[in-house]
Amino acid sequence: MRSYATRTARPVDLPSREERAAALEAAGYNLFGVDADRVFVDLLTDSGTGTMSDAQWAALLRGDESYAGSTSFRRLREAVDEVMGFDRVVPAHQGRGAENVLYGAIVDEGDHVLNNTHFDTTRAHVAANGGEAVDCPVPAAGDPDAEAPFKGNFDVDAGRAYVDDVGAENVPVVVLTVTNNSAAGQPVSVANTREVAAFAEEIDATFVIDACRFAENARFVTERETEFDDATAAEVASEQLGYADAVVMSAKKDGLANTGGFVAIGEGHDDLFERAKQRAILYEGFPTYGGLAGRDMEAMAVGLREAVDDDYLAHRVGQVAELGAELAAAGLPVYEPVGGHAVYVDAGALLDHIPPSEFPGQALACELYLEGGVRTVELGSFAFPETDRPEYVRFAVPRRTYHREHFEHVGETAAAVADRTDDLTGFEVVDEPPMAELRHFSADLRPLDA
């Protein structure tokens, strides 16, 4: 059994109820606007918010800050090769930087890109290059109660039907996002990965894996896919990623780092590798540092190896499951099974007296903050206007950062809110930025009873 001993302590105090109410009002009822020192348990995201290991901190001191050809880059490349099986690596400052490098090199005006489910930044990069982002999740992904081991899978039949419609020549890229963040962090099986790879080959498309949470995905495969009963997560990860032509990565997730990302490119794609390096020079930095300090690449190299350690993963996925159990016991409708990095709660089912136009997810997220200083994120009608997504609130767990007492506090907070759902009211947007798709980061809201 694995646990982690904390060697750097940061005091975190629960602000008083009055302070929380004032912070929420000052933030325009938008939790992105609340200062972190006003938050008691911060479950806004698992991205870059985790705790580095002592080995990672030690590695920082080896950072080689040479502009070209640094040894830190070489160590990163060796780690990517060892863990993922790709030795052609273009670093970037974070995942979306890597997306800009990759999708700018392979998506053109009028193209269609298929994905199990596009994450927001992926969708935006496809659109920014004139492409159309098309989601092909399996039907069970949209059912929070369906019992299935791999609800993150890609619906290859749906993909094929789409390609029949638009023509294979207009679909240059097929992406598989593991785990599927926008489908409640659900895993993707290796069997499905093989099918998607074969489908991409059939239509002559580049097969990309968005590997942000590849290690958590591998853990679920070892637990749920019979063929891999005796495999280690490291074995599953290299097999699963090995089917891809290219990998796009945010090291802020399963790189266990606070920043960083990269594109990794497989054999036989020399031209793509060259184009990616040229774009990296334009947008990120010379292709042996990609907008990162040498020390960041050192932390990534160590983190990638730690991320596929089975004991680490048992602890990691176990913590998320533990939070899921706390929230279910508190009476919240939890998406089942619980995913790899976060617990998703169906606020639409909990607050069925608040219509989607009045943002039930935002009402729940604000109330959780007010009640216990717990910060979550709404991923429903407020974050995604003009779509008919479920009204999810995501409780994302930073890696190696919180302990049982934090999850108990979140459970108690949730139970107190669940006891008085009838008192909760909806919200309206009073001020929003010009790009509606980005409004959840900065829009101001107002409670409808105020």
Does residue number 186 form part of the binding site for ligand F0G (CB under 6 A)? no
Does residue number 181 form part of the binding site for ligand F0G (CB under 6 A)? yes
Question: Going along 45-110, which residue ranges are E strands?
Answer: 88-92
Residue choice 250, 362, 376, 413 for contact with ligand F0G (CB under 6 A):
250
Site for ligand F0G in 82-101 (CB under 6 A): 94-96
Q: How far is the CB of 229 from ligand F0G (least distance, A)?
A: 27
Task: Considering the complex, state which of residue 210 and residue 225 has its C-beta at the smaller distance from ligand F0G.
Answer: 210
Q: Binding segment for ligand F0G among 118-126, 348-356, 366-374, 411-419 (CB under 6 A)? A: 118-126
Does residue number 20 form part of the binding site for ligand F0G (CB under 6 A)? no
Question: Going along 282-371, which residue ranges are E strands?
Answer: 342-346
Say how far apart CA 324 and CA 339 lie, in whole Å. Answer: 9
- CA-based nearest residue to 76, from 346, 326, 299: 299
Say how far apart CA 236 and CA 216 lie, in whole Å. Answer: 11
For 134-149, the DSSP string reads EE-B-GGGG-TT---T
CA angle 257, 263, 264 (to 5 degrees): 105
Q: How far is the CB of 277 from ligand F0G (least distance, A)?
A: 20
Does residue number 252 form part of the binding site for ligand F0G (CB under 6 A)? yes
Can you read off the two tokens belonging to residue 400? 């190696």
Q: How far is the CB of 412 from ligand F0G (least distance, A)?
A: 25
Task: Considering the complex, state which of residue 122 and residue 381 has its C-beta at the smaller distance from ligand F0G.
Answer: 122
CB burial string 259-280: b at 16+ within 10 A, e below:
bbbbbbbbeebeebbebbbebb
Task: Considering the complex, state which of residue 221 and residue 377 has its C-beta at the smaller distance from ligand F0G.
Answer: 377
User: Are the C-beta atoms of residues 291 and 91 closer than 8 Å to each other?
Assistant: yes
Residue choice 30, 38, 43, 45 for contact with ligand F0G (CB under 6 A):
45
Say how far apart CA 104 and CA 126 lie, in whole Å. Answer: 8
Q: How far is the CB of 99 from ligand F0G (least distance, A)?
A: 6
CB atoms closer than 10 angstroms to residue 191: 15
User: What one-letter code names the amino acid at 364?
Assistant: L
Can you read off the two tokens belonging to residue 41? 């348990």
Does residue number 116 form part of the binding site for ligand F0G (CB under 6 A)? no
Task: Considering the complex, state which of residue 212 and residue 334 has its C-beta at the smaller distance from ligand F0G.
Answer: 212
Q: Is 115 helix (H, G, I), strand (E, B) or coil?
A: strand
Q: How far is the CB of 301 from ligand F0G (least distance, A)?
A: 17
Does residue number 376 form part of the binding site for ligand F0G (CB under 6 A)? no
Site for ligand F0G in 279-298 (CB under 6 A): none
Contacting residues toward ligand F0G, per CB under 6 A: 45, 47, 94-96, 119, 121-122, 177, 181, 210, 212, 250, 252, 261
